[in-house]
Amino acid sequence: MEEERAVLRHGKVEHPLEVFVGTEGESGLDIGRLLSSTGMVALDYGFANTAWCRSAVSFVDGNVGALRYRGYPIEQLAEHSCFLEVSYLLFHGELPTLAQLAEWREAITVETLLDEGMRQMFDACPREAHPMVLLSAAVTAMGAFHPELESTLAAEQAAIHLLAKVPTAAAFSYRRSRGLPYAYPRRSLDYCSRFLQMTFSVPGEEYEVDPVAARALDVLLILHADHEQNCSTSTVRLVGSSRATVFASVASGVNALSGPLHGGANQEVLELLQQIHADGGNYAKYLARAKDREDTFRLPGFGHRIYRSYDPRAGVLKTFADQLVTRQAGQDPLLEIALALEQTALTDDYFIERHLYPNVDFYSGILFRALGFPTRMFPVLFALGRFPGWIAQWKEMTEDPETRIGRPRQVYVGSPQRDYVPVHERR
Ligand code: ACO
């Protein structure tokens, strides 16, 4: 790290600003004292130019399409690692030894059951409730069931607790929406097989693990595990900066992720494909709408705030999607529409000029469908993958001595001061 200076000139006055250079060479202008030295704030819609923390968890290079967790390229982790090892890496900062990984896995496995009181919470919610609402409620409630884990001193136990119980809560939310009896976790299974078993097992029948499906899910979770200061992660940090508990903070992350411009996009992708299918496969019509500036419609699963080239996660998933499409050839018209849509968009000038490539949500939706999940579960699966990142970022924030409560400024554009008029005198 090295520091240099930049100068901001306003009128005739110069204001020196420190430049902070990160490990990968990207630099940040420190405007922390801008208000006191210039009387001005920085106006930055969507925080598009604002780094509000220093973080060592993950790194994205949007120009070349690179994503690394703690320095390790996502492609290597997706190929050689597993989700629980990646979770350990994100939380502790280093890859585990064999013994550490075994201990981490065991600690998570023995914690998979939910408190029976939580069942009533699921039962009390209407079947029609979106599974993301149930997941968010369940994560908030976990704090109520385990107040001893709310202290920052218990961060590791809280992380284990969340990683263990969130899949159970996610599976319960699915079964509640289907009106099915809850399936308890079989501890002998690995993390992803167990989640599939809790979600899809049929009462009275032995659940048969599909290793291809379990591995595909594991890779999907790895690819979603962290992604710098995205909307939900920033939400987790913002909520946590008020010293709210880890449960309150990550539950807020679930809520932020539920929006269609973030984790809800994969659900939107599938809904669009269904609409195109119902429309006789006419995807050109939807491409034309996406390009029409008078129309607010955007092609879900395309574009990204950071990536101006291919999203590396989409690259890994495309390989899996192609394999699954081949395995299920002719069985699912939506998968074929998706691939045709992708090919056409990739060669279209509108998308090329704006660097709009498929993002992770385009393929994850296709894969989640191929794994048998209904569209409403897609954001839940994204959340399942993102928990290790949220927890690691929350921990990093609580341990950073520079952390202050998140409190952005604004530029007020409302009415100037005016005097109150009693209601009976108003015309
Ligand atoms: N379809 C059509 N046009 C698009 C799309 C799209 N999906 N995305 C961006 N554009 C266009 C914009 O209209 C704009 O065009 P203009 O320059 O003619 O005005 C240009 O591309 C730049 O777009 P911005 O709005 O500046 O991009 P921004 O970084 O603010 O938005 C976002 C990024 C929200 C992801 C956007 O691309 C989008 O809405 N995509 C669809 C939703 C989606 O897939 N979200 C998932 C994101 S990944 C994730 O959360 C894991």
Q: Which of 11-25, 97-111, 229-243, 378-392 has the lowest mean pLDDT?
A: 11-25
- Residue 361 appears among annotated catalytic residues: yes
Q: Tokens at residue 350, please?
A: 């509108």
- Residue partners of 7: CB distance under 8 A and separation at least 6: 14, 15, 16, 17
How far does residue 302's CA lie from ligand 1's centre (Å)?
A: 7
Q: 191 with 167: CB under 8 angstroms?
A: yes
Alpha helix stretches (DSSP H) within 279-414: 283-291, 312-327, 333-346, 349-353, 360-370, 378-399
Q: How many whole angstroms separate alpha carbon 66 and alpha carbon 68? A: 7
Ligand 1 binding pocket includes 302 (Cβ within 6 Å)? yes
- Residue partners of 59: CB distance under 8 A and separation at least 6: 23, 24, 66, 67, 68, 71, 228
Ligand 1 binding pocket includes 289 (Cβ within 6 Å)? no
How far does residue 303's CA lie from ligand 1's centre (Å)?
A: 5
Ligand 1 binding pocket includes 47 (Cβ within 6 Å)? no
Between 55 and 148, residue with greater pLDDT: 55
Ligand 1 binding pocket includes 360 (Cβ within 6 Å)? yes
Q: Give the strand pairing for 58-61 and 66-69.
A: antiparallel
Given the residues 218, 226, 304, 311, select the one marked as catalytic: 304
Q: Give the strand pairing for 13-21 and 3-10.
A: antiparallel
Fold assignment, 67-256+382-396: Citrate Synthase; domain 1 (1.10.580)
Nearest CA to ligand 1 atom 14: 354
Condensed to tens digits (0 to 9), the pLDDT of residues 409-427 reads 999 999 999 999 999 999 8
How far does residue 27's CA lie from ligand 1's centre (Å)?
A: 25
How far does residue 304's CA lie from ligand 1's centre (Å)?
A: 6
| Ligand 1 atom closest to residue 290's alpha carbon, by position in its atom list | 2
Ligand 1 binding pocket includes 264 (Cβ within 6 Å)? no
**Phi, psi of 287, deg, nearest 5:** -65, -45
The dihedral formed by the CA atoms of 189, 190, 195 and 200, expressed in degrees to the nearest 10: -50
Ligand 1 binding pocket includes 300 (Cβ within 6 Å)? yes
Query: For 2-51, which CATH class?
Result: mainly beta
- Residue 10 appears among annotated catalytic residues: no
Q: How many whole angstroms separate alpha carbon 35 and alpha carbon 354? A: 35
Nearest CA to ligand 1 atom 39: 261
Nearest CA to ligand 1 atom 45: 261
The dihedral formed by the CA atoms of 341, 344, 349 and 354, expressed in degrees to the nearest 10: 40
Given the residues 361, 400, 419, 424, select the one marked as catalytic: 361
Ligand 1 binding pocket includes 315 (Cβ within 6 Å)? no
pLDDT at 329: 63
- Rounded to an integer, the average pLDDT of 382-399 is 97
Is the pLDDT score of 303 beyond 60?
A: yes
Q: How many whole angstroms separate alpha carbon 181 and alpha carbon 16? A: 64
Nearest CA to ligand 1 atom 35: 304
Nearest CA to ligand 1 atom 17: 354
| Ligand 1 atom closest to residue 311's alpha carbon, by position in its atom list | 48
Condensed to tens digits (0 to 9), the pLDDT of residues 227-247 reads 999 999 999 999 999 999 999
Indicate the pLDDT class of residue 89, thresholds 50, 70 and 90: very high
Mutate to test the pocket of ligand 1, among 254, 261, 364, 386 (most ligand atoms within 8 A of CB): 261
**Phi, psi of 135, deg, nearest 5:** -65, -45
Kindly report the number of other CB atoms within 10 A of residue 326's CB atom: 9
How far does residue 231's CA lie from ligand 1's centre (Å)?
A: 14
Is the pLDDT score of 157 beyond 90?
A: yes
pLDDT at 330: 65
Kindly report the number of other CB atoms within 10 A of residue 92's CB atom: 16
The ranges assigned to domains in the chain are 2-51, 67-256+382-396, 265-370
How far does residue 397's CA lie from ligand 1's centre (Å)?
A: 29
Burial of 146 by CB count in 10 Å (0-12 exposed, 13-18 middle, 19+ buried)? middle
Q: How many whole angstroms separate alpha carbon 234 and alpha carbon 269? A: 24
- At the second CATH level, the architecture of 265-370 is Orthogonal Bundle (1.10)
Q: How many whole angstroms separate alpha carbon 37 and alpha carbon 35? A: 6
How far does residue 356's CA lie from ligand 1's centre (Å)?
A: 7
Ligand 1 binding pocket includes 384 (Cβ within 6 Å)? no
Q: What is the mean pLDDT of the chain?
A: 92
Between 308 and 405, residue with greater pLDDT: 405
Spell out a b/e string for 58-67, using b for 16 or more CB atoms within 10 Å of the CB, else e: bbbbbeebbb
Condensed to tens digits (0 to 9), the pLDDT of residues 19-72 reads 989 999 888 999 988 898 889 999 999 999 999 999 999 999 988 889 999 999
| Angle subtended by helix axes 131-145 and 246-257, to nearest 10 | 180
pLDDT at 2: 45
pLDDT at 351: 93
- Rounded to an integer, the average pLDDT of 197-201 is 97
pLDDT at 332: 75
Q: 224 with 364: CB under 8 angstroms?
A: yes
pLDDT at 51: 94
- Residue partners of 66: CB distance under 8 A and separation at least 6: 59, 60, 73, 74, 312
pLDDT at 325: 66
Q: How far is CA 138 from CA 121, 224, 244, 259, 364, in A?
A: 8, 21, 17, 18, 24
pLDDT at 1: 42
Is the pLDDT score of 170 beyond 80?
A: yes
Nearest CA to ligand 1 atom 37: 303
pLDDT at 95: 98
Between 234 and 362, residue with greater pLDDT: 234
Q: 55 with 396: CB under 8 angstroms?
A: yes
Q: 138 with 115: CB under 8 angstroms?
A: no
Is the pLDDT score of 77 beyond 50?
A: yes
Q: How far is CA 280 from CA 265, 325, 330, 337, 358, in A?
A: 23, 20, 16, 10, 23
pLDDT at 149: 87
